[in-house]
Amino acid sequence: MNVLLVEDSRAIRHLVTAYVEEVGHRVMSAETGEIAMELFDQNQIDLVLMDIELPGIDGFEVTRRMRARLSNDWLPIVFLSSNSSDQHFVEGIKAGGDAYLAKPVNGPVLQSMVQAMGRIAAIQEQLQTVNQELSRLAHVDSLTELNNRRGFVLHYGREWGRSSREAQPLSIIMIDIDSFKTYNDNYGHLAGDDCLRLVAKILMSNLLRPVDMVARYGGEEFVVLLPNTSLDGAKLVAERLRAAVESENLKHEFSPVAKHVTISAGCAEKVAGQAPNLLIDVADKNLYKAKENGRNQVFA
Ligand code: GH3
Ligand code: MG
Ligand code: MG
Ligand code: MG
Ligand code: MG
């Protein structure tokens, strides 16, 4: 672990550093709370050993500031103080500390405390990894590896807010594979899955800006989110995607549209004061018009 020791007494710094290093951890030390905050901001710290009485801001205040910086993250903070009153213990925990050791520091006790805090920190880290994976699973479609509808809604909300704040346009494209039911009926569901994966790849690789996003909105429906893009721009992108899918020439001899897989697309641009769901509605209606007009086309 990287241990940050906040202690103004040089003698205690040396003693504590020796104890902690003896059990295999690295120690960085700060004589004041101000220096501690700097080290805290610049380094990945796993455990803090905190004196309370310090020349500038005291250990309680340093703890509060560290906790504020961490927000959802956590790391153990242990107070070391010669004033081992109950009141100090209570205040230390209230400030965001996790444990309290009285000075003079006993070597084996300090080392055991570091060990115990290390165990809790390891569990916390595992939880974080699990949370990240759960969040990924919740937002990514396992078939295509694109964002799923939930992932889209998350990005959409962010981009909607940004476009309102920055008074920038925002457009979306709803895309649906043409005659996909007959594809499944004739080639089988597994081939249908392969086709979905391929179309997803084509859509993804034909979006040129990193801010553009394509998600799998539903079964064989995709949605493209285009920040800072007007309706004209969206039409160009939609036409490029349509042409890209068509030119891939994925065989679909049962399609009434063409002898290969095609997509239809509906575009819409955000209007000031509009509700986010309404923009999706407009794009959906335009997609329906593209279908009505014969499929394998873009409607805006
Ligand atoms: P249209 O041109 O009007 O869009 O006709 P369509 O046949 O594509 O439309 P419809 O909505 O009737 O059929 C969609 C099909 O997409 C039906 C469903 O079996 C298929 N589908 C949806 N999700 C998946 C999937 O995950 N895998 C496979 N293989 N097929 C899927
Ligand atoms: Mg002190
Ligand atoms: Mg349909
Ligand atoms: Mg379809
Ligand atoms: Mg559909």
Residue nearest atom 24 in ligand 1 by C-alpha distance: 219
CB burial of 100-114 (b: ≥16 within 10 Å; e: otherwise) equals bbbbebeeeebbebb
pLDDT digits (tens, 9 = 90+) for 125-173: 899 999 999 999 999 999 999 999 999 999 999 999 999 999 999 999 9
Four-point Cα dihedral 123, 127, 132, 138, nearest 10: 160
pLDDT digits (tens, 9 = 90+) for 214-237: 999 999 999 999 999 999 999 999
Q: Is 179 in the pocket of ligand 1 (CB under 6 A)?
A: yes
Partners of 51 in the β-ladder: 80
177 CA distance to ligand 5 middle (Å): 7
pLDDT mean over 251-255 = 96
109-118 contacts, C-beta under 8 A, 24 or more apart: 110/16, 110/19, 110/20, 111/19, 111/20, 111/22, 111/23, 113/78, 114/1, 114/3, 114/20, 114/23, 114/25, 114/47, 115/23, 117/47, 117/76, 117/78, 118/1, 118/46, 118/47
Confirm whether the ipTM is greater than 0.85: yes
Residue 133: count of CB within 10 angstroms of its CB? 10
Q: Is 291 in the pocket of ligand 1 (CB under 6 A)?
A: yes
What's the one-letter identity of residue 253? E
Nearest ligand 1 atom to alpha carbon 191: 29
Q: Is 266 in the pocket of ligand 1 (CB under 6 A)?
A: no
The pLDDT of residue 72: 76
The pLDDT of residue 29: 97
Residue nearest atom 26 in ligand 1 by C-alpha distance: 219
Residue nearest atom 13 in ligand 1 by C-alpha distance: 181
Q: Is 178 in the pocket of ligand 1 (CB under 6 A)?
A: yes
Looking at the chain, the whole-number percentage of residues with pLDDT higher than 70 is 100
The pLDDT of residue 82: 87
174 CA distance to ligand 5 middle (Å): 10
Neighbour order of strands in the sheet with 77-81: 26-30, 2-6, 47-51, 77-81, 99-102
The pLDDT of residue 51: 96
pLDDT digits (tens, 9 = 90+) for 56-84: 999 999 999 999 999 778 999 999 998 77
221 CA distance to ligand 3 middle (Å): 8
| Cβ atoms of residues 45 and 25 within 8 Å | no
Residue 201: count of CB within 10 angstroms of its CB? 14
Is 253 among the catalytic positions?
Answer: no
295 CA distance to ligand 1 middle (Å): 14
pLDDT at 85 over 90: no
pLDDT digits (tens, 9 = 90+) for 187-213: 999 999 999 999 999 999 999 999 999
pTM of the model: 0.80
205-208 contacts, C-beta under 8 A, 24 or more apart: 206/240, 206/241, 206/244, 207/237, 207/241
pLDDT band at 249 (very low <50, low <70, confident <90, very high): very high
